[in-house]
Structure 1
Amino acid sequence: MELLQGDDVLYDSDISVGYSSQVDLEIDIEGIVNNINQPLNNRPWINVDANGYVRPHQIQPFTEPTGMARRLPIDATPLDYFELLITNPQTDQTLISLLVEETNRYANNLLRQQQAHQPNSRISNWTRTNEDEMKAFLGLLLATGIVKKPTLESYWNESNKTWLINTPGFTNVMRRNRFQNILQCLHCNNNENAVPRGQEGYDTIHKIRPVLNLLNETFSHHYRLGRDVTVDESLVGFKGRNHLV
């Protein structure tokens, strides 16, 4: 706390004013303002009896419960908690089902366009995906963050020349062309409902809005925050422009 001299006025860093027990109620308001407006290095310190200082605001005790609203069984796995937090308790819609629906929608739209212009493209072999395949796709996508390789195609490399760094698990789960097809068509929202930029109702994050809405609903339902919530700094350097605000 920073204390200022002037009619026994105490000034703290929160711009709050308190008085010692010996202070007269008649104070010089103009003197207070002048002291506050002074540069920090020009404000002298004075000794104050701590027993006579009264907080301007009382701190209210935090008694709300925190953590998971509902505990899973003791033998629950991380996957059980993951599925709990991606399932909307009101509609039973899951993040996986949302991705399946919108990915199939976008793939069908893309397929119609490609058949008119490039009938022999890779997307022409598209078949509808489902929740089990989408889970496998997401698992492989997460695995690429653990196993580092120079290109996406190299995860499916089975050449004898690269036997030392082969990852047969990727091939056992999904073929490369199928993975790339899903990656190409992966969507979270219907593009046909997007409002053009500059018009009323335009949403900068339209493409991922359903995911944010779903997770906000599930996290607020299943997890109760504590009194103090801290947003940490970014872990990856970014020098671009943020258009989300």
Structure 2
Amino acid sequence: MEIRKFLAIVVHMCVSVRPCIREHWSKNTVVSCNFCPNILSRDRFLSILRNFHISDNALAKRKGETGYDPLHKVTPLLDNVCANFQHAYTPSQNITMDEGMCKF
């Protein structure tokens, strides 16, 4: 259950950007966040963050080696998320593209 809370805070941090991770738990009303402190304590979040591993570092290729993946640490999670997204939603033939989504 704590891992779900941890991941919810990580996703929230992508949307609610602060200069520093610790500021999501700040008591300062200018930068305070109501979501993070109510989900998980700052110390517990940082503890999980320090110890959260998705892949084995011993299997990682070094920069310059063939097969080097700069996203090695999160590739298994990204692959799983992408597969689930593709399974959950299949776009139909008639899709409208907004010009705001394309580079000029």
TM-score (norm 1): 0.32
What's the counterpart of residue 197 of structure 1?
Answer: 63
Structure with the higher fraction of residues in strand conformation: 1
What's the counterpart of residue 177 of structure 1?
Answer: 43
Quick one: distance in 2 between partners of 1:140 and 1:151? 14
Quick one: distance in 1 between partners of 2:22 and 2:60? 33
Task: Check 1:218–1:143 CA distance in 2 against 1; reply closer, same or farther (3 A cut).
Answer: closer
Aligned with 1:213: secondary structure? Answer: helix
Task: Check 1:155–1:217 CA distance in 2 against 1; reply closer, same or farther (3 A cut).
Answer: closer
Quick one: distance in 2 between partners of 1:165 and 1:224? 39
2:84 maps to which of 215, 218, 227: 218
Quick one: distance in 2 between partners of 1:207 and 1:182? 15
Specify the code of the residue in structure 2 equivalent to 1:139: A
Q: How many residues align?
A: 99
What's the counterpart of residue 74 of structure 2?
Answer: 208
Post-superposition shift, 1:155?
2.8
- Pairwise CA RMSD: 3.3
Quick one: distance in 2 between partners of 1:147 and 1:216? 23
TM-score (norm 2): 0.60
Higher relative contact order (CA 8 A, sep 6+): 1
Q: Does 1:133 align with 2:2?
A: yes
Structure 1 gaps of 5+ residues are 1-131, 235-245
What's the counterpart of residue 156 of structure 1?
Answer: 25
Aligned with 2:74: secondary structure? Answer: helix
Task: Check 1:198–1:135 CA distance in 2 against 1; reply closer, same or farther (3 A cut).
Answer: same
Quick one: distance in 1 between partners of 2:94 and 2:58? 40
Specify the code of the residue in structure 2 equivalent to 1:184: R
Percent of pairs with identical residues: 25
Structure with the higher fraction of residues in helix conformation: 2
Post-superposition shift, 1:136?
1.0
Larger of the two Rg values belongs to structure: 1
Quick one: distance in 2 between partners of 1:199 and 1:185? 27
Q: Deviations over 1:27-53 (max 9, x none)?
A: xxxxxxxxxxxxxxxxxxxxxxxxxxx
Structure 2 gaps of 5+ residues are none
Post-superposition shift, 1:137?
1.5
Quick one: distance in 1 between partners of 2:72 and 2:59? 9
Quick one: distance in 1 between partners of 2:8 and 2:44? 14
